[in-house]
Amino acid sequence: MIHFKNVSKTYPPNIVGIRNINLHIRPGEFVSIVGQSGTGKSTLAKMMFAEERPTSGEIAVGGWDITNIREHDVPLLRRQIGVVFQDFKLLSQKTVSENVAFALEVAGVSNRRIREVVPQVLKIVNLSDKGDRYPRQLSGGEAQRVVVARSLVHRPKILVADEPTGNLDTIHTREIIDLLKKINEFGTTVVLVTHNREVVNALKKRVITLDDGQITSDVEEGRYRL
């Protein structure tokens, strides 16, 4: 599903993001990426949806070589990958439903289809009854679930979540992780970047550890070890 071949990223002037990463994530996997701050986790994640381009190496997503993806094609890639960030990135002047609908609107999806999809994804994240609220009227966990719902509107084959629980307490963290597991069970490949030891240990899924831009361990059913 996701292939990295000798991928390095150097930010100007010569800050190392990641170096010489080789990685293969199979369809339907749930992969956690852990590591200390500044070790290149976000850099790695951003490359999967062409937010950053590699300095060298090759990247393929779903069999599509996106190493030198044209600007024009980036939107197509983004519509196949759901993205969830730590800072929620909801539009405060739009309601929950409108925030979710927004992702479909800007992709040119018809109004009829939008009316179908929005309730569906809100149901998945268990927010069917809060569609008319504004982001400020939601708890952190609920807001993050809206972001997850929004990332699902295009039925992505891949979901990339960069510290989705970074701002959340234990209960809300559990909610989000359970949600990601549920999405993964539906067949979506999930890439989770996290700092959270309990989360990683409870998942009992594949764990990739980064240090100084390099993969130091890659273990099926791994544990959080730094």
Partner 1 sequence: MFTSTLRAIKFAFQKFGRNFWLSIITVSMLVFTLLTINILIVLQQVTTKAITFAEDRIEVSVYFYPNSTIEQVSDAAVYLQGLPQVRDVAVITSDEALERFKLRHASDEVILASLSEVDGNPFGATLVVKAHSADDFPFILDALDNPKFRDDIREKDFSSYESIIDRIRSTTDRIQLFGIALSGIFLLIAILIVFNTVRIGIFIHREEIGIMKLVGASNAFVRAPFLIECILYSLLAVTITALIVFPSVATMDPKFSLFFNGETGGVLTYFSKNWYWIFGIQFIVMTIINMLATMVAMRKYLKV
Ligand X SMILES: Nc1ncnc2c1ncn2[C@@H]1O[C@H](COP(=O)(O)OP(=O)(O)OP(=O)(O)O)[C@@H](O)[C@H]1O
Binding site for partner 1 (CB under 8 A): 49, 51, 71-72, 74-79, 83, 89, 91, 102-103, 105-111, 150-151, 153-154
Token match 């809206």: residue?
Answer: 146
Binding Mg ion (rule: CB under 5 A), the pick from 42, 99, 151, 209 is 42
Which one of partner 1, ligand X, Mg ion, none is in contact with 40 (Cβ closer than 5 to 8 A by kind)?
Answer: ligand X
Residue nearer to Mg ion on the CB measure, 151 or 194: 194
Q: How far is the CB of 15 from ligand X (least distance, A)?
A: 4
How far is 212 from 72, CA to CA, in rounded Å?
A: 33
Q: How are strands ordered across the β-sheet holding 2-11? A: 15-25, 2-11, 56-61, 64-65
Of ligand X, partner 1, Mg ion, none, which one sits near residue 76, judging by CB under 5 to 8 A according to partner kind? partner 1
Pick one of ligand X, partner 1, Mg ion, none as the site partner of residue 32 (Cβ within 5 to 8 A by kind).
none
- Nearest CA to 79 out of 91, 61, 59, 93 is that of 61
Nearest to 154 by CA among 92, 91, 108: 108
Q: Using the minimum distance from each CB to ligand X, give the nearer residue, 37 or 93.
A: 37
Give, to the nearest 10 degrees, the angle between helix 140-151 and helix 170-185: 20
CB nearer to Mg ion: give 42 or 95.
Answer: 42
**Given its phi and psi angles, is residue 155 left (phi above 0), alpha (psi -120 to 50 degrees) or beta?**
left
* CA dist., res. 2 & res. 27, Å (int): 8
Residue 130: which of Mg ion, ligand X, partner 1, none does it interact with, CB under 5 to 8 A by kind? none
User: Minimal distance in Å, beta carbon 170 to Mg ion?
Assistant: 21
Give me the least distance between CB of 182 and ligand X, in Å please. Answer: 25
Q: Residues interacting with Mg ion, by CB under 5 A?
A: 42
